[in-house]
Structure 1
């Protein structure tokens, strides 16, 4: 009997030990939790989130808050199975495959750099979209973003070059550059008038056929906006493109004598392009929790993200308004100000 009891006790200890060891094993998952909610009309570290110079600005009551998701884990700091299971059981967290946030063979530092670039681009797009909505004119330039190795442009064009003309014809944006190059035939030479370090020069670049047969020179071109006055947006170390819509609304509110919120607390998430199109994002359920904790009454979300709003722990506790464009968001805020809640488009 004593031997049998010792055997059972030893087995139990081994089982507990193996279970504890298994729970401590790092696993390739990422946990998404509610993150920061930041009022774009307010301050961060004692400075306005949106600072405008060279134009009259206004301050109003209410809030237009961007909301974020906080991610834990990743290839450089994997969580253990116990923590992951606990998050899976939590109503406020979500467990995602690691590759959903960190593509294969990508370090956490590389992801952070990509998100920082996305944040910068989203801010420029937000200012452009706000200016378009307000009828404020600005200029665009076509700028070389990257030169692909092994293509004709390598060693001739550089990142940061502003393309002024293609084959003697002025170009104002990347679409015009692409169209001008595609107007040639593979093997042709294209003349670019570029501006580099404040100096203009003309260069010639050959073309080769792309996979689709179109002529290309091997560059990536992006639009750079030149605004008539300075708009700076500072949000600390937050990255990614999902605050674009709220940035655009924040810029509009600072430039509008009447304001957009009517004193209401609004939060939201969605990307934006210079034309004002609002795009879907991930992590909406966690962002809704952040918005509710911040005291938001209304939550603006891209129409294509509506399906993420149905199962949030705060569903039914905050009014969810779907938008497809910045114009839709502005119209929704007008209805909120005037109390026309029946006219709000909901998910």
Structure 2
């Protein structure tokens, strides 16, 4: 279709002469011959002031602000699907359907390297009770690039998935053998200079260490300051190394080594999720795996959200952004929230209406809470309290 430009149209419409004129219309026709009044100085000042303010707001809106803004992020049902595929897939064992939802929670943030926060982001964060605005240096390392932070978060996510699988399978009574490889020693401990990177721990005081849980259980029987004999495989040779134990932060004995375990999983577990980093989804991954591998419908139609790191022993650890995750959970329909015990101080006084928080410190406690909630008996579960 060819559209004529306006310059090609006739300037006079012959039909105009045939239309009756309205006297009132004629009366309001402007007199183009009369001089227009000049603007007053005050009007000029106001106009320039408004223009300057508009320019200032425009500049501030696109200038990075030295703040990080965190708000509620999306939640995801670990028992559901992502792009038509199960989020958690298991090979080598039977899985069972569930009528409930177990939703991992996230935070959505701007202000880090590569994701600057702008004035409008900061203003919205200050006005939203579910968001937190903090100086950017308090949230992100200033010497790290966006790529380095994303790589670190991706590594933490992979580690949390492996920990979740080991913890869940162990909770279900399955054996998960592990090769306990020494990744290094803690500076200042007796192990420094005695154990070497690459040593493989095979026994303690003559008792075999077939998995990571055996090492943890054996150390629980030792008092800080006791001497233990570690049997290690070093360059294909068996070596006995006496080590004086130290005291672990939080209590208990430690041998002063970093262990990089290699697990021999009895079933294959894969978790299909992208765009989420960090370790805080570990507890919900583990809980979802427990639900899938048991014939009982533990969640039983309930929408349960939660968060928390997890280690291979099933211990649930604290996370950041708990308030934003509570808000995201209730927004997406959850009525229950499993929160790490170490986050309770941040939970008290910030629970949204319609959400019930259950305090957990282990995967076993989280599993029992899920079962109670699904059975309609969740009202007596422990919750976070002040102090």
The two structures share one fold, judged by TM-score above 0.5 = yes
* 1:256 has 2:294 as partner: yes
After superposition, the C-alpha distances for 1:186-222 in whole angstroms (9 at most, x for unaligned) are xxxx996358xxxx6899xxxxxxxxxxxxxx98532
Matched-pair contact (CA < 8 Å) for 1:145–1:219: yes
Question: How far did 1:293 drift?
Answer: 2.8
Question: How far did 1:302 drift?
Answer: 0.8
Question: How far did 1:83 drift?
Answer: 2.4
2:306 is matched with which residue?
268
For residues 292 and 163 of structure 1, the distance between their equivalents in structure 2, rounded to whole angstroms, comes to 46
Flag the 1:165–1:306 CA change in 2: closer, same or farther, 3 A.
closer
Query: What is the 5 A alignment of 1:1-347?
Result: 6=44, 10=48, 13-14=51-52, 17-18=55-56, 20-143=58-181, 145=183, 193=233, 220-310=258-348, 312=350, 315-347=352-384
For residues 129 and 75 of structure 2, the distance between their equivalents in structure 1, rounded to whole angstroms, comes to 19
2:250 is matched with which residue?
none
The runs of 5 or more residues in structure 1 that have no matched partner are: 185-189, 204-217
Matched-pair contact (CA < 8 Å) for 2:74–2:105: yes
For residues 159 and 67 of structure 2, the distance between their equivalents in structure 1, rounded to whole angstroms, comes to 28
Question: How far did 1:261 drift?
Answer: 0.8
More strand by share: 1
Question: How far did 1:163 drift?
Answer: 6.1
SS at match of 1:96: strand
For residues 15 and 56 of structure 1, the distance between their equivalents in structure 2, rounded to whole angstroms, comes to 65
Q: How many residues align?
A: 319
For residues 369 and 56 of structure 2, the distance between their equivalents in structure 1, rounded to whole angstroms, comes to 56
For residues 344 and 297 of structure 1, the distance between their equivalents in structure 2, rounded to whole angstroms, comes to 14
TM-score by length of 2: 0.69
State which structure, 1 or 2, has the greater radius of gyration over its C-alpha atoms.
Answer: 2
SS at match of 2:117: coil
After superposition, the C-alpha distances for 1:67-109 in whole angstroms (9 at most, x for unaligned) are 1111123222322223212222123322232234421201111
Flag the 1:69–1:224 CA change in 2: closer, same or farther, 3 A.
same
Question: How far did 1:330 drift?
Answer: 1.7
Q: CA RMSD in A?
A: 3.7
Question: How far did 1:344 drift?
Answer: 1.3
TM-score by length of 1: 0.77
Flag the 1:289–1:8 CA change in 2: closer, same or farther, 3 A.
closer
SS at match of 1:36: coil
1:209 is matched with which residue?
none
For residues 233 and 226 of structure 2, the distance between their equivalents in structure 1, rounded to whole angstroms, comes to 17
